Structure formats: C-alpha cells, structure tokens
Amino acid sequence: MENENQLLDINHLHTGFRIKDDFYDAVDDVSISLEKNEILAIVGESGCGKSTLATTIMGLHDPNKTKVAGEVIYQDLNLVDLNEELYNKIRGNDIGMIFQDPLSALNPLMRIQDQIAESLIFHTKLSKEKRYERVLELLEQVGIPNPPRVAKQYPHELSGGMRQRVMIAIALSCKPPIIIADEPTTALDVTIQAQILDLLKELQEENGTGIILITHDLGVVAEMADRVAVMYAGQVVEEAEVGELFNNPKHPYTRSLLNSIPQMDSENDELHVIDGVVPSLVKLPRKGCRFAARIPWIAAEEHEENPVMHEVAPNHFVRCTCYKNFHFEEGGE
C-alpha cells in the first residue's frame, strides 16, 4: 500500500568502503522511511553508521572508494542510481543537509550572503535583488541579528552558534521537503543548542518538513523526535515511536544506552558503562548478533544466527531474540 505521506523510503541500503582490496559495509541492510512533518531520530554511538547513512542519502560518496546498493526512493526515483548531474538537482532543492561541523562545511573565502545564495542561483530563477532579499529573510528566519551586516561577513567572523544558523539557512534556502541534520548541536553550548533545536522544530511545523535528526544525545531525541531508529554497527537494531522506545526499550543496546544516562533521582553514584567498543569495519562480525560480544554474560543460544527485525508491538521493531532474556550484569539495572 502506497503511503502518500511518505517522503523517503530506504530499502536494504548498503554502503561499503574500500579498505585495501575489499569493500566493508558501514551501512548494512538498512530499511527505514520518513514521512511528511515527521522528525525521525537516528541514534547510536560514534562509528555506528549514522553519518554514513546521511551522506549516502545525499549521494556524497566517491564512487571509486565506496559501493552503494539498495534503494533510497524519493518521488518514485531511486537516488542510488542517479548520476551526479541529476543528483545535483535534488541536493539542496529537495533534500537539504545541515552538516556536523559548520567551520569545515562553510567556505572560509566566501561571504555569508554568497554561500546562502549559491543554492538559489543553482535551483531558482530569482533575480539578484530577489536573491539578496531571500538571503536576508533566511538570516532573519534562523534568528541572526542584523542580517545585512552578517550577510557581508566571513565564517571566521561569526561564533559557532551563528555559523550553525548559517548552515541551517543554507539548508532551508530552497524550502526542501526533507532536511537531514547531522549532529546539528554537537559543538554548541547548552543554551545555543536549545535555540537551534527550537528553530528546527519551528521550521518543521511551519513548512511540514520531514527531518532526519542524527544524534547521540538521548535528551535531544526525547524532546524532538516523533520516531527513533537505534543503529549499532551499521544496522538498525530497534525502531519505535519515541514514547514507546523510552518507556519500553527492548534491545540490549537501547537499554544500555538509556541506562548510561545520569539519573537525578538515583542514589547510585556510578554511571553505567557499556563494555567494549563498536568494532571496526574490518573486524565487524557479519554473522550473528553484532552486540553479543558486549554482553558476554548472555548465552550464545539466546541470539539468532541471522538476526532479523521482529515486531514486538505495533510499529515497534527489534533485531535478534536476545532481548527476551536480557538483563544487566550482576542482576542490577
């Protein structure tokens, strides 16, 4: 059944990076969708494949060093099959991206107004005057004081929060129906973080935009997201609506992540630490449960040989059967 609210439909997506003579999947068989007016959060530790998923959707990988397979369906087009020329028509116009580090994403030699206008020149037929008006309107929309002055400045003259707002203005310039925000608040202090997130939420409600929010901050997820996909070692291990995920987490990885958040009401001073690290691409086990090595007290037979997603409640999916008998070590949660 076709869902007319669906903006993006990702099916069995693989993104492999070349290491020596082989390709190793950093995104491994990911299927997920995004609807209009929805904020989908993608969570996980560093190295789980979140940013690779984002850059794959945007088609930003060098085809000589990466191998992409599967489907990213947008308006009946499979973006994976597009050539660079066609992809350029989609980028910015249909899918905007807010990058993780605005200082490296912005051109240090171009004025702010020219960087925001770039997308408008490429995708619209606006006159020079109209473009400048739109630039000022965007700067105002993202809460930048004195837009005419900031428009003439260079990135190094702005603070981190201001640069991040400029990134958002660039992503919004052509009013794309989809925005991918890759850790949009990582380098910012808490008050600026809150302002940026409020801004994204506001823009989403005004324009009905679908947002893919990539983050490792579960506080941001609780406040912002409608639906959450938890990624571990290149795979989605759990997917549910935000309330369901926080109230009824199932996968051992999700439960471990939630358990490692400091609790105000807890008498226990010790923070929960997840044993081990995300394995490197080369050492990643491609068979069995990928989280098994980090929960060695769970017996091998509790895991599936080839873990698949199970619907444990309406629209709540969990990979592998190990969640059924999972407990924290030493019996404590």
For residue 142, report the phi and psi dihedrals to the nearest 5 degrees: -90, 15
What string of H, E and C letters represents the secondary structure of the chain? CCCCCEEEEEEEEEEEEEECCEEEEEEEEEEEEEECCCEEEEECCCCCCHHHHHHHHCCCCCCCCEEEEEEEEECCEEHHHCCHHHHHHHECCCEEEECCCHHHHCCCCCCHHHHHHHHHHHHCCCCHHHHHHHHHHHHHHCCCCCHHHHHCCCHHHCCHHHHHHHHHHHHHCCCCCEEEEECCCCCCCHHHHHHHHHHHHHHHHHHCCEEEEEECCHHHHHHHCCEEEEEECCEEEEEEEHHHHHHCCCCHHHHHHHHCCCCCCCCCCCCCCCCCCCCCCCCCCCCCCCCHHHCCCCCHHHCCCCCCEEEEECCEEEECHHHHHCCCHHHCC
Domains of the chain: 6-225 (3.40.50.300), 254-331 (no CATH)
Q: What is the pLDDT of residues 274-300, one digit of tens each?
A: 888 999 999 999 999 999 999 999 999
pTM of structure: 0.93
Please tell me the predicted confidence (pLDDT) of residue 265. 67
Q: What is the pLDDT of residues 33-81, one digit of tens each?
A: 999 999 999 999 999 999 999 999 999 999 889 999 999 999 999 999 9
Please tell me the predicted confidence (pLDDT) of residue 333. 47
Integer Cα distance of 72 and 79 in angstroms: 5
Please tell me the predicted confidence (pLDDT) of residue 121. 95
Please tell me the predicted confidence (pLDDT) of residue 311. 97
Please tell me the predicted confidence (pLDDT) of residue 275. 87
Integer Cα distance of 240 and 248 in angstroms: 10
For the chain, give the mean pLDDT.
92
If we measure between CA atoms, which residue out of 2, 34, 56 comes closest to residue 229? Answer: 34
Spans of the chain, pLDDT less than 70: 1-2, 264-269, 331-333
Please tell me the predicted confidence (pLDDT) of residue 268. 64
